[in-house]
Amino acid sequence: MSSSLSKEPAGAPAPESGGLMVKAEKVHKSFGRLEVLKGIDLEVRQGEVMCVVGPSGSGKSTFLRCINHLEKINAGRLWVNGHLVGYRQQGEKLYELRDREVSAQRREIGMVFQRFNLFPHKTVLENVMGAPVWVKKQPKNEVRERALALLERVGLSDKAPSYPSQLSGGQQQRVAIARALAMEPALMLFDEPTSALDPELVGEVLDVMKQLALDGMTMIVVTHEMGFAREVGDSLVFMDEGVVVEEGTPRDVLANPQHPRTQDFLSKVL
């Protein structure tokens, strides 16, 4: 089916990847009459940690969901790793990919949500092993070995036989991170991964994310944790009302915001 996206300037070729992991061009997204994203332009380089901040309802989570096509954009273009997300282009028109093709694209993109979304009836180890076995059809013995290594990486090797209900919120979120990493993604998306946690559990999740950054994982993190953004982020984006208001290095934006809206927001959260 031809997409309404073709109303955008036609003939946009896949950009030269040149170290780019994510490229967004004039991305729009509406829910009915409510326009949530109003022309987002962003670039994320391989190995970069981009932190996205802003008030509730600014479009941050919606933008993340568009990157892995959980939400279909209404106009614009999104590329991940040089591939157009959710569509293929022929001439001047875009055509939606089949569900199977979209699923294949999503394997490259790990996503960690506010809520942990673990299977309650499966053990921690089974939660981490599930997608590589069922989606990628990888041999169970290989997946098990990698899953155990990932649980060790997030500090939970002793919890492999436990069930989610036996874990704290911070532990469950670390399992969710290990589960996303089990698919060996090129990009990790984090949608306010600590917002549902008790304050004393936030640090253990952020520590895992810091280590991922040190290991070179490309990450886009929607967060309210300004200390994390300052310490770990390579770039900081402030969104409000569906647009990128300001972007720069975390140090520059947090210490010397240029836009009045950014100044107002940060004065309330720092």
Split at pLDDT 50, 70, 90, the class of 9 is: very low
Question: In this prediction, what percent of the chain has a pLDDT beyond 90?
Answer: 82
Q: Which pLDDT score is estimated for 207?
A: 96
Q: For tokens 């959710």, name the residue.
A: 86
Residue type, 27: V
Q: Which pLDDT score is estimated for 135?
A: 87
Residue 8 has pLDDT above 90, yes or no: no
Residue 18 has pLDDT above 80, yes or no: no
Residue 1 has pLDDT above 70, yes or no: no
SS (H, E, C) 184-223: CCCEEEEECCCCCCCHHHHHHHHHHHHHHHHCCCEEEEEC
- 8 Å CB contact between 232 and 21: no
Mean pLDDT to the nearest integer, 159-179 = 97
Residue type, 2: S
Q: Give the Cα separation of 13 and 89 in Å (integer).
A: 8
Q: Which pLDDT score is estimated for 104?
A: 87
Split at pLDDT 50, 70, 90, the class of 17 is: low
Give the gyration radius of the chain's Cα atoms: 19
Q: For tokens 């960690």, name the residue.
A: 112
Q: Which pLDDT score is estimated for 12?
A: 42
Split at pLDDT 50, 70, 90, the class of 91 is: confident
Residue 35 has pLDDT above 90, yes or no: yes
Pairing status of strand 49-53 against strand 235-240: parallel
Lowest-confidence region among 55-59, 98-102, 165-169: 98-102
Domains of the chain: 20-267 (3.40.50.300)
Q: Higher confidence at residue 253 or residue 5?
A: 253
- 8 Å CB contact between 183 and 143: no
Mean pLDDT to the nearest integer, 82-97 = 89
Q: Give the Cα separation of 191 and 70 in Å (integer).
A: 13
Mean pLDDT to the nearest integer, 201-226 = 96
SS (H, E, C) 8-76: CCCCCCCCCCCCEEEEEEEEEEEECCEEEEEEEEEEEECCCEEEEECCCCCCHHHHHHHHCCCCCCCEE
Q: Give the Cα separation of 208 and 214 in Å (integer).
A: 10
Q: Which pLDDT score is estimated for 79?
A: 95
Q: Which pLDDT score is estimated for 202?
A: 95
